[in-house]
Amino acid sequence: MIEADLPARPRSELSLRFGRFRQNRLAMASVVVLTFIVVACFLGPFLFPFTGQDADFDAINLGVDFTSIHLFGTDDFGRDLLVRTLEGGRVSLTIGFLGALVAGIIGVMYGAVAGFVGGRWDRVMIRVIEILYAFPYVILVILLAMLFGGGNVALFLAIVFTLWLTPAVIVRAQAQSLARREFIEAARAGGMTRRQIIVTHIVPNTLSTVIVYGSLLVPEVILSESFLSFLGIGVREPQASWGNLIQAGRATMSTDIRLLLLPATMLATVLFCLNFIADGLRDAFDPNDR
């Protein structure tokens, strides 16, 4: 048989949905812009002969000058604003993506176990979530900052500790529905253990919901980091993040708005891109729009 006459292999449901996502021009443009910003934040600072903490005392409060090595000028301490913004973006994006990933994994596994096992275990596990929901977010960060001495570790733990709850509730509802499906009964009859069913069937079948919510979780984590750093209980000087750079720029916005404009524009652009990507994923993975 000639190879051209062979029937085309059917595409998986997941590949079909990502194909629909690629047809969304705004979402794909957002992917390109976000990729450029991520690459710039992680690789851009290495193109300069100094770091964001190095002070140039001959160029304090230098304005925008594209003929100078300090393209967007310096701050009150002679530190390069562009490099500090890129390094701050590296911190904010790392906490954002890593925090969303860890919170998502914890939430998915917890919700899948609670929803599938059911009964007394489900009631106990959902009560734990309700109790944790009662913790005020900012107070939790302050307590963790006191416990761990502040900084990135306390911020990361506080974000993960708080934001895994909603994915757990969403996946629990999905797992409860899946637990009554015929293929789950067939897996039980075939001798599969609860752990095998959860890993092999429950979690993969909640993947669409997880992808959509995960795309919303990333901007939430980045915004939380920036907000808490803005308040001074997140990433601390001299290390930069978009939050504390915006806080520092706010203090001088009446005299030099440049210090506020660059980090705020970077943060806003990333948040817009992530929200457009989330909208595209939601449209592509919407089970009511097949």
Q: Where are the domains of the chain?
A: 14-49+81-285
Smallest CA-to-CA distance from 90 within 44, 148, 139 is with 44
Q: What would the pLDDT profile of 149-172 be if each residue is shown by its tens digit? A: 667 777 788 788 888 888 888 888
- CB distance 96 to 37 below 8 Å: no
For the record, the structure tokens of 51 come out as 């770091």
> pTM here?
0.81
Q: What would the pLDDT profile of 2-52 be if each residue is shown by its tens digit? A: 444 544 455 566 677 777 878 888 989 999 999 999 999 999 999 988 888
Mean pLDDT rounded to a whole number for the chain: 81
**What b-and-e string marks burial along 152-161, b requiring 16 or more CB atoms within 10 Å of the CB?**
bebbbbbbbb
C-alpha distance from residue 231 to each of 149, 163, 247 (Å): 16, 19, 8
In CATH, what class is 14-49+81-285? mainly alpha
